Amino acid sequence: METKLRYKRVLLKLSGEALSAGSGKLYDDAFLFKLADVVRRCLDLGAEIGVIVGAGNIWRGRQGKDMDPVRADSMGMLATAINAIALQDAFCHAGLDARVMTAAELRPYAEPYSRDRAIHHLEEGRVVIFGCGIGLPFFSTDTAGALRAAEIGADVMLMAKNIDGIYTADPHVDPKAEKIEEITCGDILSHGLKAIDATATAFCMEHDIPILVFGLSDPENILRAIVGDHLGTIVTPKNGK
């Protein structure tokens, strides 16, 4: 039986920490190779995949508490480009054509971001990895992911995390925390839930972009999400899309 996609064009948001897979190293090679294999199988089904990656395994802007915050965030944006190139290498080893596009110009290492070029790459079956956030300080990679999802016309933003969905409280702290199966962007904002950056949530609500939050302990969950298996928490825009 042919497997059908629920979402054809997706924006996959990965945290920088996910690339280390708890190994204590910057990158866990076994995890990256498995991730690349899953992405390859998604492409074989006809999916078009853009990826945006954080930099928590290298540098977070808030680590520079005694630094100028703009410079600290600039370091974080550059760190995302390093992670993007690491992902590109893993994808290429899996036989994929992967392109890195950055919001800040790093021409010897990546293409400058262009919406039209990004869409062209996706339509040609290439994975597009977005680095350097949106090129501005004070904006999270969640927000950058929401922006890129809107620009490329993604059907969904997939947020792969170290927890299997959104909970009523931090389940690591509160044993009574309950997993939420479905919630609206408006409810996330009104209840002050921290699972998704508030700016990204508001942007997705305004631009009718659904968000699926799920765990990345098993990279196979990316394939399960794209074909529409029940997992994680679905966050619907205000209009219920």
Task: Give the bridge partners for 161, in sequence order.
Answer: 215
Residue 99: exposure state from Cβ atoms within 10 A (0-12, 13-18, ≥19): buried
Residue 3 lies in a domain: no
Tell me the residue range of the domain where 187 lies.
9-236
Q: Has residue 241 been placed in a domain? A: no
Domain CATH number, residue 67: 3.40.1160.10
Please, what are the averages of pLDDT over each run of 10 residues along the chain (241 residues)?
85 95 92 97 97 94 86 96 98 97 96 98 98 96 97 98 90 90 95 90 96 95 96 84 47
Two tokens at 119? 């869409």
What total number of domains does the chain contain? 1
Q: Is residue 2 part of a domain?
A: no
In a domain, 142, yes or no: yes
Give domain status of residue 52, yes or no: yes
Q: 207 lies in a domain?
A: yes
- Decide: helix, strand or coil at residue 65: coil
CB-based contact 241:212 (threshold 8 Å): no
Whole-prediction pTM value? 0.94
